[in-house]
Protein backbone atom coordinates (compact mmCIF):
# COMPACT_ATOMS: atom_id res chain seq x y z
CA UNK A 1 0.00 0.00 0.00
CA UNK A 2 1.20 3.46 -0.83
CA UNK A 3 2.29 5.66 2.05
CA UNK A 4 2.07 8.95 0.21
CA UNK A 5 -0.91 11.25 0.38
CA UNK A 6 -1.44 14.41 -1.59
CA UNK A 7 -0.13 17.20 0.68
CA UNK A 8 -2.82 19.28 2.33
CA UNK A 9 -5.71 17.05 1.25
CA UNK A 10 -7.61 15.03 3.85
CA UNK A 11 -8.98 11.64 2.87
CA UNK A 12 -12.42 11.60 1.27
CA UNK A 13 -14.46 8.41 1.73
CA UNK A 14 -17.55 7.54 -0.31
CA UNK A 15 -19.87 4.74 0.82
CA UNK A 16 -22.61 3.59 -1.55
CA UNK A 17 -25.39 1.81 0.33
CA UNK A 18 -26.67 -0.25 -2.56
CA UNK A 19 -30.47 -0.28 -2.76
CA UNK A 20 -31.09 1.81 0.37
CA UNK A 21 -33.53 4.52 -0.69
CA UNK A 22 -35.81 6.91 1.16
CA UNK A 23 -39.30 5.47 1.53
CA UNK A 24 -42.59 6.37 3.15
CA UNK A 25 -41.71 4.90 6.52
CA UNK A 26 -44.73 2.58 6.44
CA UNK A 27 -44.84 -1.04 7.60
CA UNK A 28 -43.17 -2.25 4.38
CA UNK A 29 -40.15 0.04 4.58
CA UNK A 30 -37.27 -2.16 5.75
CA UNK A 31 -34.99 0.85 6.10
CA UNK A 32 -37.42 2.56 8.44
CA UNK A 33 -38.02 -0.70 10.31
CA UNK A 34 -34.30 -1.28 10.82
CA UNK A 35 -32.32 0.18 13.70
CA UNK A 36 -30.03 2.70 12.00
CA UNK A 37 -28.42 4.79 14.77
CA UNK A 38 -25.33 5.50 12.67
CA UNK A 39 -27.28 6.97 9.76
CA UNK A 40 -29.37 8.92 12.25
CA UNK A 41 -26.17 10.35 13.70
CA UNK A 42 -24.90 11.38 10.27
CA UNK A 43 -28.20 13.08 9.56
CA UNK A 44 -27.85 15.12 12.71
CA UNK A 45 -24.14 15.84 12.27
CA UNK A 46 -23.68 17.01 8.70
CA UNK A 47 -25.56 17.79 5.49
CA UNK A 48 -28.47 15.53 4.62
CA UNK A 49 -30.16 15.74 1.21
CA UNK A 50 -32.36 13.56 -0.96
CA UNK A 51 -31.43 13.04 -4.61
CA UNK A 52 -33.13 11.38 -7.57
CA UNK A 53 -31.80 8.02 -8.75
CA UNK A 54 -34.30 6.84 -11.35
CA UNK A 55 -35.69 7.53 -14.80
CA UNK A 56 -34.48 10.51 -16.79
CA UNK A 57 -32.32 11.57 -13.83
CA UNK A 58 -29.98 8.67 -14.67
CA UNK A 59 -30.42 8.62 -18.45
CA UNK A 60 -33.31 6.15 -18.73
CA UNK A 61 -36.26 6.56 -21.06
CA UNK A 62 -38.90 7.88 -18.65
CA UNK A 63 -39.39 8.66 -14.99
CA UNK A 64 -41.45 5.50 -14.60
CA UNK A 65 -38.22 3.53 -15.09
CA UNK A 66 -36.65 2.24 -11.89
CA UNK A 67 -33.04 3.05 -11.22
CA UNK A 68 -30.52 0.25 -11.07
CA UNK A 69 -26.99 -0.32 -9.92
CA UNK A 70 -25.38 -0.09 -13.34
CA UNK A 71 -26.88 3.21 -14.47
CA UNK A 72 -26.60 4.54 -10.93
CA UNK A 73 -22.86 3.97 -10.70
CA UNK A 74 -22.34 5.07 -14.31
CA UNK A 75 -24.13 8.32 -13.53
CA UNK A 76 -22.38 8.92 -10.22
CA UNK A 77 -19.01 8.43 -11.84
CA UNK A 78 -19.78 10.37 -15.01
CA UNK A 79 -21.01 13.57 -13.36
CA UNK A 80 -23.46 13.95 -16.24
CA UNK A 81 -26.68 12.33 -17.44
CA UNK A 82 -25.72 9.80 -20.13
CA UNK A 83 -28.27 7.97 -22.34
CA UNK A 84 -28.43 4.54 -20.74
CA UNK A 85 -29.76 1.04 -21.23
CA UNK A 86 -33.09 0.94 -22.99
CA UNK A 87 -32.84 4.60 -23.97
CA UNK A 88 -29.56 4.03 -25.79
CA UNK A 89 -31.13 1.15 -27.73
CA UNK A 90 -34.34 3.14 -28.23
CA UNK A 91 -32.27 5.90 -29.85
CA UNK A 92 -30.62 3.33 -32.14
CA UNK A 93 -34.05 1.95 -33.08
CA UNK A 94 -35.44 5.39 -33.89
CA UNK A 95 -32.41 6.21 -36.01
CA UNK A 96 -32.42 2.82 -37.72
CA UNK A 97 -28.85 2.07 -36.61
CA UNK A 98 -29.80 -1.22 -34.97
CA UNK A 99 -31.03 -2.80 -38.22
CA UNK A 100 -27.79 -2.24 -40.04
CA UNK A 101 -24.49 -4.09 -39.83
CA UNK A 102 -24.61 -6.91 -37.29
CA UNK A 103 -28.36 -7.46 -37.59
CA UNK A 104 -28.06 -7.99 -41.32
CA UNK A 105 -25.17 -10.40 -40.76
CA UNK A 106 -27.25 -12.35 -38.24
CA UNK A 107 -30.15 -12.57 -40.69
CA UNK A 108 -27.83 -13.74 -43.44
CA UNK A 109 -26.53 -16.55 -41.24
CA UNK A 110 -29.98 -17.53 -39.98
CA UNK A 111 -31.52 -17.75 -43.45
CA UNK A 112 -28.83 -19.95 -45.01
CA UNK A 113 -29.21 -23.71 -45.42
CA UNK A 114 -31.94 -24.26 -42.85
CA UNK A 115 -30.16 -22.43 -40.04
CA UNK A 116 -31.96 -20.73 -37.17
CA UNK A 117 -31.90 -17.42 -35.33
CA UNK A 118 -31.67 -17.83 -31.54
CA UNK A 119 -32.71 -14.99 -29.25
CA UNK A 120 -31.54 -15.32 -25.64
CA UNK A 121 -32.48 -12.91 -22.88
CA UNK A 122 -34.57 -11.85 -19.91
CA UNK A 123 -38.32 -12.10 -20.54
CA UNK A 124 -39.35 -8.92 -18.79
CA UNK A 125 -40.69 -5.42 -19.29
CA UNK A 126 -38.68 -4.06 -16.36
CA UNK A 127 -36.32 -2.22 -18.74
CA UNK A 128 -33.35 -2.99 -16.52
CA UNK A 129 -31.62 -5.85 -18.33
CA UNK A 130 -33.87 -6.15 -21.35
CA UNK A 131 -36.92 -4.61 -22.96
CA UNK A 132 -40.13 -6.31 -24.02
CA UNK A 133 -40.50 -3.72 -26.79
CA UNK A 134 -37.01 -4.48 -28.12
CA UNK A 135 -37.83 -8.20 -28.24
CA UNK A 136 -41.05 -7.55 -30.16
CA UNK A 137 -39.17 -5.38 -32.65
CA UNK A 138 -36.57 -8.12 -33.14
CA UNK A 139 -39.40 -10.54 -33.91
CA UNK A 140 -41.02 -8.09 -36.35
CA UNK A 141 -37.79 -7.51 -38.23
CA UNK A 142 -36.92 -11.20 -38.21
CA UNK A 143 -40.21 -11.88 -39.96
CA UNK A 144 -39.86 -9.07 -42.49
CA UNK A 145 -36.26 -10.09 -43.20
CA UNK A 146 -37.21 -13.68 -43.97
CA UNK A 147 -36.12 -15.65 -40.90
CA UNK A 148 -38.11 -18.89 -41.12
CA UNK A 149 -36.58 -20.77 -38.15
CA UNK A 150 -36.39 -18.88 -34.86
CA UNK A 151 -35.84 -20.14 -31.33
CA UNK A 152 -36.35 -18.19 -28.11
CA UNK A 153 -34.45 -18.95 -24.91
CA UNK A 154 -36.30 -17.19 -22.10
CA UNK A 155 -34.96 -16.20 -18.71
CA UNK A 156 -37.49 -15.38 -16.00
CA UNK A 157 -37.21 -12.21 -13.95
CA UNK A 158 -38.85 -12.01 -10.53
CA UNK A 159 -36.70 -9.01 -9.55
CA UNK A 160 -37.30 -6.07 -11.88
CA UNK A 161 -40.99 -6.93 -12.29
CA UNK A 162 -43.60 -8.38 -9.97
CA UNK A 163 -42.52 -11.83 -8.86
CA UNK A 164 -44.33 -15.01 -9.90
CA UNK A 165 -45.43 -13.50 -13.21
CA UNK A 166 -43.25 -15.69 -15.44
CA UNK A 167 -46.34 -17.55 -16.63
CA UNK A 168 -47.93 -14.28 -17.77
CA UNK A 169 -44.84 -13.20 -19.69
CA UNK A 170 -44.53 -16.64 -21.28
CA UNK A 171 -48.18 -16.53 -22.32
CA UNK A 172 -47.71 -13.05 -23.81
CA UNK A 173 -44.73 -14.31 -25.76
CA UNK A 174 -46.63 -17.34 -27.04
CA UNK A 175 -49.41 -15.00 -28.21
CA UNK A 176 -46.86 -12.76 -29.93
CA UNK A 177 -45.43 -15.76 -31.77
CA UNK A 178 -48.88 -16.89 -32.90
CA UNK A 179 -49.71 -13.38 -34.14
CA UNK A 180 -46.60 -13.37 -36.32
CA UNK A 181 -46.64 -16.96 -37.55
CA UNK A 182 -50.31 -17.94 -37.86
CA UNK A 183 -51.10 -18.88 -41.45
CA UNK A 184 -47.42 -18.94 -42.45
CA UNK A 185 -44.76 -21.62 -42.73
CA UNK A 186 -42.60 -19.96 -40.09
CA UNK A 187 -41.09 -22.35 -37.53
CA UNK A 188 -40.75 -20.17 -34.43
CA UNK A 189 -40.70 -21.74 -30.95
CA UNK A 190 -39.68 -21.18 -27.35
CA UNK A 191 -36.84 -23.65 -26.84
CA UNK A 192 -35.58 -23.28 -23.27
CA UNK A 193 -35.70 -21.19 -20.14
CA UNK A 194 -34.96 -20.81 -16.45
CA UNK A 195 -34.82 -18.31 -13.58
CA UNK A 196 -32.21 -15.60 -13.94
CA UNK A 197 -30.41 -16.31 -10.66
CA UNK A 198 -29.83 -19.99 -11.44
CA UNK A 199 -29.73 -19.94 -15.23
CA UNK A 200 -27.29 -18.03 -17.47
CA UNK A 201 -27.27 -14.62 -15.77
CA UNK A 202 -24.37 -14.89 -13.33
CA UNK A 203 -22.11 -11.85 -12.99
CA UNK A 204 -18.53 -11.08 -12.02
CA UNK A 205 -17.70 -14.80 -12.23
CA UNK A 206 -19.43 -15.37 -8.90
CA UNK A 207 -20.81 -18.76 -9.98
CA UNK A 208 -20.00 -20.17 -13.40
CA UNK A 209 -22.34 -23.06 -12.63
CA UNK A 210 -25.24 -20.71 -13.31
CA UNK A 211 -23.94 -20.06 -16.83
CA UNK A 212 -23.24 -23.73 -17.37
CA UNK A 213 -26.87 -24.52 -16.53
CA UNK A 214 -27.95 -22.04 -19.20
CA UNK A 215 -25.46 -23.40 -21.72
CA UNK A 216 -26.83 -26.92 -21.26
CA UNK A 217 -30.40 -25.65 -21.68
CA UNK A 218 -30.02 -23.13 -24.50
CA UNK A 219 -27.11 -24.49 -26.51
CA UNK A 220 -27.01 -28.23 -25.92
CA UNK A 221 -30.72 -28.82 -25.26
CA UNK A 222 -29.85 -31.11 -22.37
CA UNK A 223 -31.59 -29.53 -19.38
CA UNK A 224 -34.65 -30.98 -17.68
CA UNK A 225 -37.18 -31.68 -20.47
CA UNK A 226 -40.71 -30.28 -20.66
CA UNK A 227 -43.28 -30.30 -23.44
CA UNK A 228 -43.76 -26.52 -23.21
CA UNK A 229 -42.65 -23.47 -21.30
CA UNK A 230 -46.01 -23.26 -19.51
CA UNK A 231 -45.73 -26.88 -18.39
CA UNK A 232 -42.22 -26.19 -17.07
CA UNK A 233 -43.35 -23.20 -15.00
CA UNK A 234 -46.42 -25.00 -13.63
CA UNK A 235 -44.48 -28.11 -12.66
CA UNK A 236 -41.60 -26.27 -11.03
CA UNK A 237 -44.03 -24.18 -8.99
CA UNK A 238 -45.94 -27.25 -7.86
CA UNK A 239 -42.72 -28.89 -6.75
CA UNK A 240 -41.61 -25.86 -4.73
CA UNK A 241 -44.65 -23.81 -3.69
CA UNK A 242 -43.97 -20.09 -3.51
CA UNK A 243 -40.71 -20.32 -5.46
CA UNK A 244 -39.54 -17.04 -6.98
CA UNK A 245 -39.37 -16.77 -10.76
CA UNK A 246 -35.69 -15.97 -10.51
CA UNK A 247 -35.00 -19.42 -8.99
CA UNK A 248 -36.88 -21.61 -11.47
CA UNK A 249 -34.70 -24.50 -12.64
CA UNK A 250 -33.23 -24.44 -16.15
CA UNK A 251 -35.24 -26.49 -18.64
CA UNK A 252 -35.39 -27.48 -22.30
CA UNK A 253 -38.53 -27.74 -24.41
CA UNK A 254 -38.78 -31.08 -26.24
CA UNK A 255 -41.03 -32.44 -29.00
CA UNK A 256 -43.25 -35.53 -28.93
CA UNK A 257 -40.21 -37.75 -29.47
CA UNK A 258 -38.37 -36.21 -26.52
CA UNK A 259 -35.93 -34.32 -28.75
CA UNK A 260 -34.94 -30.74 -27.89
CA UNK A 261 -36.71 -28.33 -30.24
CA UNK A 262 -33.98 -25.72 -30.35
CA UNK A 263 -30.36 -26.56 -29.56
CA UNK A 264 -27.81 -24.28 -31.18
CA UNK A 265 -26.24 -25.89 -34.25
CA UNK A 266 -23.34 -25.04 -36.55
CA UNK A 267 -24.31 -22.24 -38.91
CA UNK A 268 -26.96 -20.71 -36.64
CA UNK A 269 -27.05 -17.09 -35.49
CA UNK A 270 -27.33 -16.21 -31.80
CA UNK A 271 -28.24 -12.81 -30.35
CA UNK A 272 -28.38 -11.94 -26.66
CA UNK A 273 -31.02 -9.25 -26.45
CA UNK A 274 -30.14 -8.08 -22.93
CA UNK A 275 -28.68 -4.59 -23.13
CA UNK A 276 -27.12 -4.54 -19.66
CA UNK A 277 -23.70 -6.07 -19.58
CA UNK A 278 -23.02 -7.47 -16.13
CA UNK A 279 -25.28 -10.52 -16.43
CA UNK A 280 -24.78 -11.05 -20.17
CA UNK A 281 -21.01 -11.06 -20.42
CA UNK A 282 -20.29 -14.55 -19.10
CA UNK A 283 -22.58 -16.31 -21.59
CA UNK A 284 -21.09 -14.05 -24.26
CA UNK A 285 -17.61 -15.25 -23.34
CA UNK A 286 -18.78 -18.86 -23.50
CA UNK A 287 -19.85 -18.30 -27.11
CA UNK A 288 -16.93 -16.26 -28.41
CA UNK A 289 -13.81 -17.25 -26.48
CA UNK A 290 -11.52 -19.92 -27.85
CA UNK A 291 -9.70 -22.81 -26.23
CA UNK A 292 -8.51 -20.62 -23.36
CA UNK A 293 -12.03 -20.36 -21.93
CA UNK A 294 -11.98 -21.76 -18.38
CA UNK A 295 -15.45 -21.03 -17.00
CA UNK A 296 -16.77 -24.59 -17.44
CA UNK A 297 -16.59 -27.50 -19.86
CA UNK A 298 -18.58 -26.35 -22.89
CA UNK A 299 -18.25 -29.61 -24.80
CA UNK A 300 -18.30 -29.05 -28.54
CA UNK A 301 -18.80 -25.34 -29.19
CA UNK A 302 -21.03 -24.73 -32.23
CA UNK A 303 -19.66 -22.62 -35.09
CA UNK A 304 -22.15 -19.75 -35.18
CA UNK A 305 -22.59 -16.03 -35.81
CA UNK A 306 -22.90 -14.29 -32.44
CA UNK A 307 -23.88 -10.75 -31.48
CA UNK A 308 -24.82 -8.98 -28.27
CA UNK A 309 -27.32 -6.16 -28.00
CA UNK A 310 -24.56 -3.68 -27.17
CA UNK A 311 -21.06 -3.53 -25.71
CA UNK A 312 -20.86 -5.38 -22.39
CA UNK A 313 -17.18 -4.79 -21.53
CA UNK A 314 -15.22 -1.99 -23.17
CA UNK A 315 -11.80 -3.13 -21.99
CA UNK A 316 -12.10 -6.60 -23.53
CA UNK A 317 -14.26 -5.41 -26.46
CA UNK A 318 -16.88 -7.96 -25.47
CA UNK A 319 -18.81 -8.88 -27.48
CA UNK A 320 -16.74 -8.17 -30.59
CA UNK A 321 -19.99 -7.90 -32.59
CA UNK A 322 -23.04 -6.01 -31.28
CA UNK A 323 -26.24 -4.52 -32.64
CA UNK A 324 -25.84 -1.14 -30.92
CA UNK A 325 -22.69 0.75 -30.05
CA UNK A 326 -22.48 1.99 -26.41
CA UNK A 327 -22.24 5.58 -25.23
CA UNK A 328 -18.77 6.98 -24.80
CA UNK A 329 -18.12 8.22 -21.25
CA UNK A 330 -14.90 10.14 -20.72
CA UNK A 331 -13.61 12.38 -17.94
CA UNK A 332 -15.26 10.35 -15.23
CA UNK A 333 -14.60 11.55 -11.70
CA UNK A 334 -11.95 8.91 -10.99
CA UNK A 335 -10.22 9.75 -14.26
CA UNK A 336 -10.07 13.40 -13.16
CA UNK A 337 -8.76 12.36 -9.75
CA UNK A 338 -6.19 10.03 -11.34
CA UNK A 339 -4.85 12.90 -13.46
CA UNK A 340 -4.32 14.89 -10.27
CA UNK A 341 -2.01 12.21 -8.91
CA UNK A 342 -4.19 11.47 -5.90
CA UNK A 343 -4.31 7.84 -4.77
CA UNK A 344 -7.62 5.97 -4.92
CA UNK A 345 -9.05 2.80 -3.38
CA UNK A 346 -12.17 0.94 -4.59
CA UNK A 347 -13.46 -1.88 -2.35
CA UNK A 348 -16.56 -4.02 -2.69
CA UNK A 349 -17.71 -7.59 -2.44
CA UNK A 350 -17.97 -9.45 -5.74
CA UNK A 351 -21.67 -8.79 -6.33
CA UNK A 352 -20.97 -5.05 -6.66
CA UNK A 353 -17.27 -5.05 -7.51
CA UNK A 354 -17.90 -4.18 -11.14
CA UNK A 355 -20.10 -1.30 -10.10
CA UNK A 356 -17.33 0.33 -8.08
CA UNK A 357 -14.86 -0.22 -10.93
CA UNK A 358 -16.22 -0.86 -14.43
CA UNK A 359 -19.48 1.10 -14.25
CA UNK A 360 -18.06 3.81 -11.99
CA UNK A 361 -15.26 4.37 -14.50
CA UNK A 362 -17.58 4.81 -17.48
CA UNK A 363 -17.54 1.16 -18.65
CA UNK A 364 -13.83 0.64 -18.15
CA UNK A 365 -12.48 -2.23 -16.06
CA UNK A 366 -8.83 -1.21 -15.75
CA UNK A 367 -7.54 1.61 -13.52
CA UNK A 368 -6.71 4.91 -15.17
CA UNK A 369 -3.39 4.85 -13.35
CA UNK A 370 -2.33 1.50 -11.94
CA UNK A 371 0.31 3.22 -9.82
CA UNK A 372 -2.23 5.24 -7.85
CA UNK A 373 -5.36 3.05 -7.90
CA UNK A 374 -6.09 -0.12 -5.93
CA UNK A 375 -9.14 -2.35 -6.48
CA UNK A 376 -10.27 -4.81 -3.77
CA UNK A 377 -12.72 -7.63 -4.60
CA UNK A 378 -14.13 -9.38 -1.52
CA UNK A 379 -15.66 -12.75 -2.55
CA UNK A 380 -19.43 -12.83 -2.06
CA UNK A 381 -21.22 -15.80 -0.53
CA UNK A 382 -22.52 -18.28 -3.11
CA UNK A 383 -25.85 -18.85 -1.39
CA UNK A 384 -29.24 -17.19 -1.44
CA UNK A 385 -28.57 -13.81 0.06
CA UNK A 386 -31.34 -13.89 2.66
CA UNK A 387 -29.59 -16.92 4.19
CA UNK A 388 -26.65 -14.69 5.22
CA UNK A 389 -28.16 -11.19 4.97
CA UNK A 390 -25.26 -9.32 6.51
CA UNK A 391 -23.34 -10.26 3.38
CA UNK A 392 -19.83 -8.73 3.39
CA UNK A 393 -20.64 -5.37 4.95
CA UNK A 394 -18.24 -5.88 7.86
CA UNK A 395 -15.43 -7.17 5.65
CA UNK A 396 -15.81 -4.25 3.25
CA UNK A 397 -15.64 -1.83 6.16
CA UNK A 398 -12.51 -3.64 7.38
CA UNK A 399 -10.68 -2.88 4.13
CA UNK A 400 -11.67 0.78 4.12
CA UNK A 401 -10.74 1.23 7.79
CA UNK A 402 -7.37 -0.47 7.33
CA UNK A 403 -6.60 1.75 4.35
CA UNK A 404 -7.48 4.85 6.36
CA UNK A 405 -5.36 3.77 9.29
CA UNK A 406 -2.34 2.96 7.13
CA UNK A 407 -2.72 6.13 5.09
CA UNK A 408 -1.88 6.68 1.46
CA UNK A 409 -5.26 7.10 -0.21
CA UNK A 410 -6.98 10.41 -0.78
CA UNK A 411 -10.22 9.06 -2.29
CA UNK A 412 -11.67 5.78 -1.01
CA UNK A 413 -14.93 4.43 -2.41
CA UNK A 414 -16.86 1.33 -1.40
CA UNK A 415 -20.18 -0.40 -1.89
CA UNK A 416 -22.29 -2.18 0.74
CA UNK A 417 -24.46 -4.62 -1.20
CA UNK A 418 -26.97 -5.97 1.32
CA UNK A 419 -29.82 -3.49 0.95
CA UNK A 420 -30.10 -4.40 -2.71
CA UNK A 421 -29.19 -8.07 -2.95
CA UNK A 422 -31.19 -9.13 0.11
CA UNK A 423 -34.01 -6.80 -0.87
CA UNK A 424 -34.28 -8.71 -4.13
CA UNK A 425 -35.18 -11.87 -2.22
CA UNK A 426 -38.43 -10.34 -0.95
CA UNK A 427 -37.59 -11.46 2.59
CA UNK A 428 -38.56 -8.49 4.75
CA UNK A 429 -36.96 -9.61 8.02
CA UNK A 430 -33.72 -10.56 6.28
CA UNK A 431 -33.66 -7.18 4.56
CA UNK A 432 -33.98 -5.44 7.92
CA UNK A 433 -30.92 -7.40 9.05
CA UNK A 434 -29.07 -6.42 5.87
CA UNK A 435 -29.84 -2.72 6.40
CA UNK A 436 -28.71 -2.91 10.01
CA UNK A 437 -25.44 -4.50 8.89
CA UNK A 438 -24.99 -1.65 6.42
CA UNK A 439 -25.67 0.87 9.17
CA UNK A 440 -23.08 -0.75 11.43
CA UNK A 441 -20.49 -0.73 8.64
CA UNK A 442 -21.18 2.93 7.89
CA UNK A 443 -20.76 3.75 11.57
CA UNK A 444 -17.42 1.95 11.79
CA UNK A 445 -16.18 3.70 8.66
CA UNK A 446 -17.40 7.07 9.98
CA UNK A 447 -15.42 6.57 13.19
CA UNK A 448 -12.28 5.82 11.17
CA UNK A 449 -12.83 8.83 8.90
CA UNK A 450 -13.25 11.07 11.94
CA UNK A 451 -10.04 9.69 13.45
CA UNK A 452 -8.23 10.43 10.19
CA UNK A 453 -9.59 13.98 10.02
CA UNK A 454 -11.28 13.16 6.75
CA UNK A 455 -14.59 13.72 5.00
CA UNK A 456 -17.37 11.13 4.63
CA UNK A 457 -19.99 10.99 1.88
CA UNK A 458 -22.72 8.35 2.07
CA UNK A 459 -25.37 7.79 -0.58
CA UNK A 460 -27.13 5.04 -2.55
CA UNK A 461 -27.39 4.12 -6.21
CA UNK A 462 -31.16 3.45 -6.26
CA UNK A 463 -33.98 2.42 -4.00
CA UNK A 464 -35.10 -1.11 -3.13
CA UNK A 465 -35.14 -2.09 0.54
CA UNK A 466 -37.24 0.90 1.55
CA UNK A 467 -40.24 -0.38 -0.44
CA UNK A 468 -40.73 -4.12 -0.07
CA UNK A 469 -44.34 -4.62 -1.12
CA UNK A 470 -46.18 -4.59 -4.43
CA UNK A 471 -48.52 -1.62 -4.67
CA UNK A 472 -51.61 -0.75 -6.69
CA UNK A 473 -51.90 2.36 -8.85
CA UNK A 474 -52.90 4.37 -5.80
CA UNK A 475 -49.76 3.27 -3.97
CA UNK A 476 -51.59 0.99 -1.56
CA UNK A 477 -50.00 -2.33 -0.55
CA UNK A 478 -51.26 -5.41 -2.36
CA UNK A 479 -51.96 -8.70 -0.62
CA UNK A 480 -52.66 -12.26 -1.65
CA UNK A 481 -56.07 -13.87 -1.11
CA UNK A 482 -55.10 -14.98 2.38
CA UNK A 483 -54.13 -11.43 3.33
CA UNK A 484 -50.36 -11.87 3.32
CA UNK A 485 -48.36 -9.11 1.64
CA UNK A 486 -47.19 -9.53 -1.94
CA UNK A 487 -43.53 -8.95 -1.22
CA UNK A 488 -41.69 -6.96 -3.87
CA UNK A 489 -38.30 -7.97 -5.20
CA UNK A 490 -37.76 -5.07 -7.59
CA UNK A 491 -36.05 -1.69 -7.32
CA UNK A 492 -38.04 1.47 -6.69
CA UNK A 493 -38.33 4.97 -8.11
CA UNK A 494 -37.76 6.54 -4.69
CA UNK A 495 -35.06 9.13 -4.03
CA UNK A 496 -31.92 8.17 -2.14
CA UNK A 497 -30.19 9.91 0.76
CA UNK A 498 -26.96 11.86 0.56
CA UNK A 499 -24.97 12.55 3.72
CA UNK A 500 -21.86 14.74 3.83
CA UNK A 501 -19.91 14.99 7.08
CA UNK A 502 -16.52 16.72 7.06
CA UNK A 503 -14.47 16.00 10.17
CA UNK A 504 -11.53 18.17 9.06
CA UNK A 505 -12.95 21.49 10.14
CA UNK A 506 -14.14 22.54 6.67
CA UNK A 507 -17.66 23.89 6.81
CA UNK A 508 -20.19 23.21 4.07
CA UNK A 509 -23.80 24.00 3.32
CA UNK A 510 -26.22 22.82 0.63
CA UNK A 511 -25.66 24.63 -2.65
CA UNK A 512 -28.47 26.91 -3.72
CA UNK A 513 -30.32 26.79 -7.02
CA UNK A 514 -29.40 23.25 -8.10
CA UNK A 515 -32.20 22.10 -10.40
CA UNK A 516 -33.46 18.52 -9.97
CA UNK A 517 -30.59 17.23 -7.83
CA UNK A 518 -29.67 13.66 -8.65
CA UNK A 519 -26.86 11.14 -8.76
CA UNK A 520 -25.28 13.05 -11.64
CA UNK A 521 -24.42 15.82 -9.17
CA UNK A 522 -22.28 13.54 -7.03
CA UNK A 523 -19.07 13.70 -9.09
CA UNK A 524 -18.87 17.49 -8.91
CA UNK A 525 -19.63 17.29 -5.18
CA UNK A 526 -16.68 14.94 -4.69
CA UNK A 527 -14.33 17.13 -6.71
CA UNK A 528 -15.32 20.22 -4.72
CA UNK A 529 -14.58 18.32 -1.50
CA UNK A 530 -11.17 17.38 -2.95
CA UNK A 531 -10.52 20.96 -4.08
CA UNK A 532 -10.17 19.85 -7.69
CA UNK A 533 -11.47 21.67 -10.75
CA UNK A 534 -14.88 20.49 -11.92
CA UNK A 535 -15.17 19.80 -15.68
CA UNK A 536 -17.39 22.31 -17.42
CA UNK A 537 -19.90 19.73 -18.66
CA UNK A 538 -20.51 18.24 -15.20
CA UNK A 539 -23.74 18.91 -13.39
CA UNK A 540 -23.13 21.23 -10.41
CA UNK A 541 -22.03 20.23 -6.93
CA UNK A 542 -24.67 19.89 -4.23
CA UNK A 543 -22.57 21.59 -1.54
CA UNK A 544 -20.72 24.88 -1.21
CA UNK A 545 -18.42 26.40 1.42
CA UNK A 546 -20.37 27.76 4.38
Domain edge (last residue) among 278, 308, 338: 308
At 1 the pLDDT is 34
Rounded-to-integer distance, Cα 142 and Cα 134, Å: 12
Residue 533: inside a domain: yes
The structural domain count of the chain equals 2
Q: Which of 61, 62, 69, 465 is catalytic?
A: 69
For 234-286, how does the pLDDT look when each residue is reduced to its tens digit (9 = 90+)?
999 999 999 999 999 999 999 999 999 999 999 999 999 999 888 999 999 99
Question: pLDDT confidence of 315, banded at 50, 70, 90?
Answer: low
The share of the chain scoring above pLDDT 70, in percent, equals: 98
CATH of the domain at 461: 3.40.720.10
Q: Looking at the domain assignment, is residue 446 inside a domain? A: yes
On whether both 47 and 175 belong to a single domain, the answer is no
Give the lowest-confidence range in 79-93, 205-219, 376-390.
79-93
Q: Lowest-pLDDT range, 104-108, 138-142, 451-455, 489-493?
A: 489-493
One domain, residues 60 and 159: no
- CA 172 from chain centre, in angstroms, equals 25
Reported as a pLDDT band with limits 50, 70 and 90, residue 3 is very low
Q: Please state, rounded to an integer, the average pLDDT across all residues of the chain.
A: 94
Please tell me the least confidently modeled range out of 250-264, 351-365, 517-531: 351-365
Containing structural domain, residue 248: 87-308
The CA-atom distances, in angstroms, between 167 and each of 126, 232, 239, 541 are 16, 10, 15, 46
Q: What is the mean pLDDT of residues 432-445?
A: 98
Instruction: Check whether residue 137 and residue 169 sit in a common domain.
Output: yes
In a domain, 65, yes or no: yes
Could you tell me if 418 and 351 lie in one domain?
Answer: yes
Please indicate, yes or no, whether residues 192 and 71 belong to a single structural domain of this protein: no
Q: Can you tell me the distance from the alpha carbon of 399 to that of 396, in angstroms, rounded to the nearest whole number?
A: 5
Q: Are 334 and 344 in contact (CB under 8 A)?
A: yes
Residue 316: inside a domain, yes or no? no
94 band by pLDDT with thresholds 50, 70 and 90: confident
Tell me the CA distances in angstroms from 164 to 168, 518, 536, one per residue in order: 9, 32, 47
Same domain assignment for residues 262 and 372 = no
Output 67 or 168, whichever has higher pLDDT. Answer: 168
Per-residue pLDDT at 216 exceeds 50? yes
Q: What is the pLDDT of residue 8?
A: 55
> Could you report the per-residue pLDDT of 410-424, keeping only the tens digit for each?
999 999 999 999 999
Query: 419 and 299 in one domain?
Result: no
Residues 397 and 532 in one domain: yes
End-to-end CA distance of the chain: 35
Q: 383 in a domain, yes or no?
A: yes
pLDDT at 498 > cutoff 70: yes
Give pLDDT tens digits for 323-357: 998 777 999 999 999 999 999 999 999 999 999 99
- 319 inside domain: no
CA distance 416 to 435: 9
Instruction: Indicate if 69 belongs to the active site.
Output: yes
Question: Per the domain annotation, does 320 fall within a domain?
Answer: no
- The reply to whether 135 and 52 lie within a common domain is no
Between 77 and 317, name the one with better pLDDT. Answer: 77
In a domain, 173, yes or no: yes
Can you give the CATH number for the domain in which 273 is found? 3.40.1450.10
Mean pLDDT value across residues 381-391: 95
Residues 79, 97, single domain; the answer is: no
Task: Tell me, yes or no, whether 295 and 343 share the same domain.
Answer: no
Do 428 and 531 reside in the same domain of the chain? yes
* The pLDDT of residue 365: 85
Q: Report pLDDT for 472.
A: 87
Amino acid sequence: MSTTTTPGVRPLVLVVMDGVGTGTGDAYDAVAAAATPQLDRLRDTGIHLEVAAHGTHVGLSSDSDMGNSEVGHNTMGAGRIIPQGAKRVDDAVRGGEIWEGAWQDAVAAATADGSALHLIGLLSDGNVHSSWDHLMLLLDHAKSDGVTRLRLHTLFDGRDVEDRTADRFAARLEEALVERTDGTDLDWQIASGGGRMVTTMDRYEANWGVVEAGWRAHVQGEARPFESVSKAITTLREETPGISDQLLEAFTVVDADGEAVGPVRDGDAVIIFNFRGDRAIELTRAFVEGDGFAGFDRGTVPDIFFAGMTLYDGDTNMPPVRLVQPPTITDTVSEVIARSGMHQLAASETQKYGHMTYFWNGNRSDPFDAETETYIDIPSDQIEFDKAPRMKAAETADYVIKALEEGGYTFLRSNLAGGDMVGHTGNFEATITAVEAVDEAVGRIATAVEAAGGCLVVTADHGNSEDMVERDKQGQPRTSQDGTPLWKTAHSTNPVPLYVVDYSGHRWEPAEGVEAPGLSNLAATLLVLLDLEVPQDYRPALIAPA
